[in-house]
Amino acid sequence: MHSFPPSFIEALKTQVQAEYQVIVRYRALKNNANDPEMRQSHQAEIDLRQKNIAEIQADFLQQAQYMGAADVPPDQLANLIKKEVEKITGQSLDATKGTNSPLPVVLTVFANPKQDLEYLTQEQNAIQSTLMPLDEKQCKHIVRSDTHLADYFEFLKKWKNRIAIFHYGGHANSVGLKLVDHDSFFTPLAKELAQRNKDSLQLVFLNGCSTHSHVKTLFEAGVKSVIATRVAVGDKLASDFAVQFYGNIASGDNIREAFESTCHYIGAMQGGQGKRHRIEATPMLWCGSTTRNPKEDEELPWRLYTLDEAYLEYTLPPEVPLISNDKVVENKNVYNHGEVKNQINHSNIEGDVNF
């Protein structure tokens, strides 16, 4: 088993993080730029930083061989260093070379055509406040109040194959969603959402009354996981559930953890107010049944449905650790060959090399 000394890894981590932090910054700038020339300029900076990281890898490979790992095949040694770099960045650099993967989009849309949902604005604002610290770092949050039918299709077109989580808050029934200007039939809405986001979509959350009947439609369209309601749900309770759920997601929970914790919270908050608020702590797999069981009156209105429990492990990507600006040198490699060699040689003398 080949491993590197701690000081070797720390030096590699410092230099790669400095470059990768700049990649993250320019990626965000590129995603928000409308001018093609500006986007091209930002991509050029991203490509340069990718090149710098490749040069850092090559330099550390040379130093590792100098340290006494000459007996290890170069390709195997290079692969070990590459894996260390991927641990630092949290992704495969080969997979993102040239065109870096953009941040996932969380799209939350709301509609209150009759202005009778007192807590819907609270739900919208609280979710926005919860996701704001993550915006442009771990995700891009797009929010739309008073959603019209044209808005829905426009957002899906603009953020094609970027939407990871879609949330609807407002009136709904077994036929469709009640947008501001249309009582919209659900099947075409589901097909558009799924087809525009074949690779990116991880979860659809329909936070309205009796949205369970739409789960099968979403799965047939290719959606992985859905949160929907079996019965009508009160305005305030719906708001509380959604806000708590996204708070859990923002804290790093995966879909399963966020849902279960939210059930615990709502169950505790609603204790003693009716059997139907009993916690259904374990997410339920879609079974295709539309038959109502009397025991459902003892459960919370929401259920989490999925085609495969592995899909419930999805989390928003972690934030890249911030590097102080004095460690980031624009348009230059930040590493120092002599300093790296000194650190590695010092490690070798101390005997913490393990090849």
For the segment 284-293, what is each residue's pLDDT rounded down to a tens digit? 544 444 455 5
Instruction: Quick: pLDDT tens for 7-17.
Output: 888 888 888 88
- The answer on 165 and 291 residing in a single domain is yes
The residue that leads in pLDDT, 50 or 3, is 50
Q: 49-52: which pairs have CB atoms within 8 A and are 24 or more residues apart?
A: 49/19, 49/20, 49/22, 49/23, 50/23, 50/93, 50/96, 50/97, 50/98, 52/19, 52/333, 52/334
The CATH number for 232's domain is: 3.40.50.1460
Task: Categorize the per-residue pLDDT at 79 as very low, low, confident or very high, splitting at 50, 70 and 90.
Answer: confident
- The answer on 286 and 265 residing in a single domain is yes
Please, are residues 144 and 110 in contact by the beta-carbon 8 Å criterion?
yes
- The answer on 65 and 198 residing in a single domain is no
Give me the domain span that covers residue 21.
6-100
> What's residue 337's pLDDT?
44
Please, are residues 169 and 108 in contact by the beta-carbon 8 Å criterion?
yes
In percent, the amount of the chain with pLDDT more than 70 equals: 74
- The answer on 150 and 34 residing in a single domain is no
- The answer on 189 and 86 residing in a single domain is no
